[in-house]
């Protein structure tokens, strides 16, 4: 059977592998085709002409749409990615004679939802289900567990926090499904003689959000305390997280989806699988838990170290300019060989450079060269002090000795903090 899988993300890649393992001829279409992987370029924001789409689908037996975004950007909107492009492709599939269309949507998708993500998914679902031909099925998965998935990495990061605030104590119920089970259901829907209109793809039972986080903590051997917070405070925190870390799938809409419930009857999934879907307590079997644990801990410790380092640079610059007695600073500079206007210029230059480094740490996404600059600067300061102010090494408060752990921390950040967080695998 010839299957076109739209999307090269988590579900699309896994489904393509699963279908190829069953002997199907698979073509993947996505924004980032990779050489040798059987993918073709297809940008949902700039689809080719309808006639071109029809030709591309002319010999396809089944079309599966797995494309989705959780958050809008300047380049990708919900309407473009979830509604306009899929509907054009569904129409092209009908004209091309494609026998079946599967739409991977989301649990809770509804065109009347106040949540833009669910509303956009629901509009495409509703339009597809209105077709009399081709055969069509809307698959609505709950949270999908996979070490490579954004939501799973987010939950790992939450589990890694020593103090985790959860809205209303995390009593909201969710029903996560393992990626392998979701893919198995999709493969069966591709191959089945006939398909239902819809199927909610969920795990075997609902469980509170707090319990799901505890499963991560237990599997990764991480201790922590969960603190209940009011819903309004959680929304404010989620808004800040969404602005500071756009790649993390946490924002007020995500909290609204949690509050609205994310559960369904697991019987249809069990029927299609031929057995109950995998229980969440078994999600972690056979996984590289040590790597996941490391990434979970780095998920909060790296931003904390970066923030502490930024504060140190900014505070040092401000103290040099406005707090520490200017005459004492000039005395120290005189011992280095700088006096008069040159000393004042050196003081201001060094202080402003410190402040600039701290601000850059907070704002820049690519920080590799920034860490190199800090290493060079701290090493230079240390060398100058060693040559002209050696007594500072024996100071009881250790102002120069503290440069050694500071250098070590900057070196660690240079190695681990890559701008997009720790190893996502």
The answer to whether 82 and 123 are in contact (CB under 8 A) is yes
- Per-residue pLDDT, 250: 78
- Per-residue pLDDT, 241: 76
Report the Cα–Cα distance between both ends of the chain, in Å, rounded: 32
- Per-residue pLDDT, 83: 97
- Per-residue pLDDT, 420: 46
Please state the pTM of the whole predicted model: 0.86
- Per-residue pLDDT, 254: 85
Contacts of 408 (CB under 8 A, 6+ apart): none
- Per-residue pLDDT, 425: 29
Tally of CB atoms within 10 A around 232: 9
Tally of CB atoms within 10 A around 24: 18
- Per-residue pLDDT, 419: 58
- Per-residue pLDDT, 38: 66
Domains of the chain, residue spans: 1-141, 299-416
Report the alpha-carbon distance of residue 413 to residue 241 in Å, rounded.
21
Q: What is the CA radius of gyration of the chain?
A: 27
- How do strand 207-208 and strand 173-174 relate by DSSP bridges? antiparallel
Ordered per-residue pLDDT tens for the chain, 425 residues: 999 999 999 999 999 999 999 999 999 998 766 545 567 888 888 899 999 999 999 999 999 999 999 888 888 999 999 999 999 999 999 999 999 999 999 999 999 999 999 999 999 999 999 998 899 999 999 999 999 998 999 899 999 999 999 999 999 999 999 999 999 999 999 999 999 999 999 999 999 999 999 999 999 999 999 999 998 898 888 888 777 676 677 788 888 888 877 899 999 999 999 999 999 999 999 999 999 999 999 988 998 999 999 999 999 999 999 999 999 999 999 999 999 999 999 999 999 999 999 999 999 989 999 999 999 999 999 999 999 999 999 999 999 999 999 999 999 999 999 754 433 32
- How do strand 177-178 and strand 225-229 relate by DSSP bridges? unpaired
- Per-residue pLDDT, 246: 67
Phi and psi at 250, nearest 5°, equal -130, 120
Write down the architecture of domain 1-141 according to CATH. Answer: 3-Layer(aba) Sandwich (3.40)
- Per-residue pLDDT, 240: 82
């Amino acid at each position: 059977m010839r299957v076109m899988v739209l999307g090269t993300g988590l579900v699309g890649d896994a489904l393509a592998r699963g279908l190829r393992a069953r002997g199907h001829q698979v073509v993947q279409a996505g924004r980032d085709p990779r050489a040798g992987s059987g993918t073709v370029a297809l940008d949902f924001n700039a689809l080719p002409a309808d006639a071109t789409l029809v030709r591309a689908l002319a010999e396809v037996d089944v079309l599966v749409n797995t494309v989705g975004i959780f958050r809008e950007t300047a380049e990708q909107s919900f309407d473009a990615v979830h509604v306009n492009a899929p509907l054009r492709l569904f129409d092209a599939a009908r004209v091309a004679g494609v026998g079946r269309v599967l739409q991977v949507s989301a649990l809770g998708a509804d065109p009347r939802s106040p949540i833009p993500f669910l509303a956009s998914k629901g509009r495409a679902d509703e339009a597809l289900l209105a077709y009399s031909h081709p055969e069509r099925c809307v698959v609505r998965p709950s949270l999908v567990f996979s070490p490579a998935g954004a939501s799973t990495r987010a939950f790992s990061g939450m589990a890694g926090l020593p103090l985790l605030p959860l809205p209303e104590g995390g009593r909201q119920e969710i029903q996560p499904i393992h990626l392998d089970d979701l893919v198995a259901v999709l493969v069966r829907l591709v191959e089945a003689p006939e398909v239902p209109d819809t199927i909610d793809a969920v795990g075997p039972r609902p469980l509170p959000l707090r319990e799901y986080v505890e499963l991560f903590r237990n599997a990764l051997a991480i201790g922590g305390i969960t603190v209940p917070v009011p819903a309004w405070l959680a929304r404010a925190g989620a808004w800040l997280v969404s602005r500071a870390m756009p790649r993390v799938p946490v924002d007020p809409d995500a909290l609204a989806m949690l509050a609205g419930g994310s559960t369904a009857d697991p019987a249809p999934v069990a029927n299609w699988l031929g057995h109950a879907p995998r229980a969440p307590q078994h999600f972690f079997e056979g996984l590289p838990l040590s790597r996941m644990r490391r990434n979970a801990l780095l998920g909060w410790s790296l931003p904390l170290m970066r923030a502490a380092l930024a504060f140190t640079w900014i505070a040092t610059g401000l103290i040099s300019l406005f707090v520490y007695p200017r005459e004492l600073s000039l005395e120290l500079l005189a011992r280095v060989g700088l006096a008069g206007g040159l000393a004042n210029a050196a003081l201001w230059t060094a202080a402003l450079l410190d402040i600039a480094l701290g601000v850059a740490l907070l704002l820049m996404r690519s920080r590799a060269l920034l860490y190199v600059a800090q290493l060079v600067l701290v090493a230079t300061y240390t060398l100058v002090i060693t040559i002209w102010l050696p007594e500072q090494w024996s100071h009881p408060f250790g102002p120069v000795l503290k440069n050694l752990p500071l250098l070590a921390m900057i070196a660690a950040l240079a190695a681990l903090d890559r701008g997009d967080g720790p190893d996502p695998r």
